[in-house]
Amino acid sequence: MHDAPEYLARDRYEALVIGSGFGGAVAVCRLAQAGIDVAVVERGRRWPAGSFPRDLSRLDDGWLWLCNHGLYDALPLNDILAVRAAGYGGGSLVYANVAARSPQAVFAGWPAPYSRAHLEPFYDLAAHMLDVSPVPTDRDLPPKTRLMAEAATRLGHRDGFFHPNLAITFDDRGPGQTNQFGVPQRGCTYCGQCDIGCNVGAKNSLDHNYLALAERAGAEVGTRTEAVWIGATDDRGYRVRLREYGHPGTGKQGTEREVTARYVFLCAGALGSTEVLLRSRDQYGTLPDLPATLGSRFSGNGDFLSFGRDLGADFAPSVGPTITTASVIRGGDPDDERWFVIEEGGYSEHIAELVRSMHLPSYLADHMNRSARTVIATAQTFAGHLRTDRTAVLLAMGRDRADGRIELRGKHHRLRVVWDTTRNDPLYTDEQVVSGAVIRALGGTPFAPPTWRMFRQPVTVHNLGGVPMGDDPRHGAASPDGEVFGHPGLYVLDGALLPDATAGNPSLTITAVAERCIEIAIRRITADPAWQAPQHADAAPRPAPEDAAVQAVAARSPARRRTAGVRFTETMTGTVRLPAAADETRPSRAAQLRLTVAIPDLQAMIDDPAHAAELYGTVRVTGLTARPAMVSGGRLHLLATVDGGPERTMTYHLPFTDDTDRPWLLLGTKHVRRRRRNDPWRATTRLAVAVVDPDKRYDAIEPTGRMTISLPEVVRLLSSLRTTGGGGAGTVARFGRFFTGQVARSYLQPNRGRRDRAAARTR
């Protein structure tokens, strides 16, 4: 089912809202209620209940934005894989419904006057509008809900365990049922399809509340309409170039037009809003004076996905709302605490089948690099694990460093995110360790998604930052009220405005901040200092179960987590050629690596399919580094499997800078596999290497040199083995068994041959 495109009827409005997610829905609703002439544009379609895609045989039938402007938009943005929605209602159409309030600690780095107490009335208003409540405990709970409670008890997390508020209608009174705003809705049937669009109509998505009220108050709507850039007009307003899809004969490119407005509210999501402003400044030059801080403080909200297979009991991930439980975790050490939340993530069986059977149209596959196609192929094998009731998905969220950057690169101005994953490794490690402990408490085996296993690339569904609020243009791109510095009347009211991660699901915080900012904006526009949203009087405080969990965990004395690990040092020497662009003659250059391999948690490393370890030490390349250059945030994947077959690889990822402070990346691989002249000694002591520009890290790289570790250095390596975190001789022995066992399996298992491995990639 496809709704007909809607296009704006006029070319001039007093206010234009771009995007209909948690920021845009609030903005257009309140502007319309204040009597302001307003329109909202959304690049996606309307998705009324019953219209969400379910036909798995056709990707172009509503599933992917790149295929006929469907529901999901997955963006491999160099250092992170971002997932966002396209549709009237934005992310609310497919999010997991969790409505959580951020603790006071989150606001410590925000500009004044933000605090939890300051936002509380707006949190109450947002909770009222979204009609939030926990999963009912007076009816049979889904299996995963009960199992998560049991795991929290076994692991000592029960004081931080709670049922979060959800934006779901649970009561069902039969045909003709409406919500508090008179919009038809039914009760939840526990079908587990929240994350692919609720065809029942029980999800309290934004089209059932804010957007419905906006249209009732006179707001005009344009769907399948995307903003390209924004420019200034001569009368202190703005012109917006719009691209309208769905016009007959225009194909995938659509047709373009301009609309002007005195006030523009940019609410296209952290990536979308930032991209529009970057293109306006850096590509089209229509807003050349945007702040230099534009694109800064990107955060993936500390998102980390973990999976578990072969659980001891049916987890039944497709039964019940997507998320029904959460646990507040206090990780790290007392002198370096890392707080995060772990939630169970249900999923529809459609998701696993969609990934498993995905065959990309040729026009998409032709534009993907080899690494992206490899991820898709590996994901198809990975999805096979999701087709059983004894598989669990866990989502962790925490406070990452929020130091990423969104930018446009190259002659085609491609959007990308610069995100140093290694700077957030302590948080990701804690999240992975605790998630693994939960899976093991449920009798299962942890495993990681392919993007993390192959590239150490996290997946985020909570993009934040890019137009961060600050006290001045040196510390942010917009004011605390959401107005872009130096551009009166141009506002950003969505996740792009948030300067830090929210320590949990961010939707309610984005909504509350938008409610606060739009109230201030409307008071300025209407010159009415007392204006408030009509629903303010009805917004009574609601319980916030996350507050009690945080307080209970804070009251407990922090425990120092000691995990048994190992470390050792190795030295390799050899030669390598530099890329042609850096050295046209490309002579072989002498190179040396002196590296320490650190595995702080041996159990977590063994459980991790990528078997990731930390690397630090020095790199020396003749002509690049007069002195050994320090390795910053190196990673080693120690004997990870290839396509589930007998082959193992040891991959080295070594960032360093040369004598001119230019960044480089040394990539190395040891192939441990049975073939002529590749006995176990050769396989584990010879490293094929290449020195590349960091921007090329995900491309297919051919080795340009080789390094080896000599027999005397192997002896020194073995003598350098030490335990960490309280481990003893047994820890070293366990590491030895893991290493030799992996090598032995790669040589003793039957080699399926190249044809079989190729078949495995496409299954």
Q: What is the pLDDT of residue 696?
A: 72
Q: What is the pLDDT of residue 755?
A: 42
For residue 725, the tally of other CB atoms under 10 A from its CB is 15
What residue ranges do the domains of the chain occupy? 12-269+280-555, 565-762
Q: What is the pLDDT of residue 562?
A: 65
Of the pLDDT bands very low, low, confident and very high (cuts 50, 70, 90), residue 584 is low
**Average pLDDT value for the chain:** 89
Nearest to 47 by CA among 11, 101, 93: 93
Architecture of the CATH domain 12-269+280-555: 3-Layer(bba) Sandwich (3.50)
pLDDT higher than 60, residue 363: no
Rg (CA), the chain: 27
Contact call for residues 451 and 459 (beta carbons, < 8 A): yes
Q: What is the pLDDT of residue 162?
A: 98
For residue 647, the tally of other CB atoms under 10 A from its CB is 21
Average pLDDT estimate for 682-702 = 85
What is the 3-class SS of 619-663, one letter each residue? EEECCCCCCCEECCCEEEEEEEECCCCCCEEEEEEEEEECCCCCE
For residue 5, the tally of other CB atoms under 10 A from its CB is 17
Q: What is the pLDDT of residue 79?
A: 64
Q: How far apart are CA 500 and CA 111, in angstroms?
A: 11
Average pLDDT estimate for 363-369 = 45
Measuring CA to CA, how many Å separate 665 from each of 149, 428, 655, 662? 44, 22, 4, 10
Q: How far apart are CA 43 and CA 223, in angstroms?
A: 6
Share of the chain above pLDDT 90, in %: 69
Q: What is the pLDDT of residue 366?
A: 46
Q: How far apart are CA 534 and CA 60, in angstroms?
A: 41
Q: What is the pLDDT of residue 675?
A: 83
Tell me the pLDDT tens digit for each residue of 166-210.
999 999 999 999 999 999 999 999 999 999 999 999 999 999 999
pLDDT higher than 80, residue 58: no
pTM: 0.86
Least confident interval from 481-485, 543-547, 580-584: 580-584
Q: What is the pLDDT of residue 246?
A: 86
Helix (H) or strand (E) holding 380: helix 370-383
**Which residues have a Cβ under 8 Å from the Cβ of 725 and sit 6 or more positions away?**
562, 563, 564, 565, 600, 601
Helix (H) or strand (E) holding 478: none
Contact call for residues 33 and 210 (beta carbons, < 8 A): no
Tell me the pLDDT tens digit for each residue of 728-749.
889 999 999 999 999 999 998 7
Q: What is the pLDDT of residue 453?
A: 58
pLDDT higher than 70, residue 473: yes
Contact call for residues 104 and 544 (beta carbons, < 8 A): no
291 vs 68, which has greater pLDDT? 291
Q: How far apart are CA 24 and CA 225, in angstroms?
A: 14
Tell me the pLDDT tens digit for each residue of 211-222.
999 999 999 999
pLDDT higher than 90, residue 670: yes
pLDDT higher than 90, residue 67: no
Contact call for residues 239 and 260 (beta carbons, < 8 A): yes
Least confident interval from 87-101, 168-182, 556-570: 556-570
Average pLDDT estimate for 598-603 = 89
Sheet bearing 81-85, strands edge to edge: 72-76, 81-85, 459-460
Q: What is the pLDDT of residue 758?
A: 45
Q: How far apart are CA 709 and CA 683, in angstroms?
A: 11
pLDDT higher than 60, residue 754: no
Q: How far apart are CA 221 and CA 346, in angstroms?
A: 33
249 vs 154, which has greater pLDDT? 154
Say how many CA atoms lie within 13 Å of 245 toward its Cβ.
21
Amino acid present at 191 = C
Tell me the pLDDT tens digit for each residue of 232-252.
999 899 999 999 998 887 777
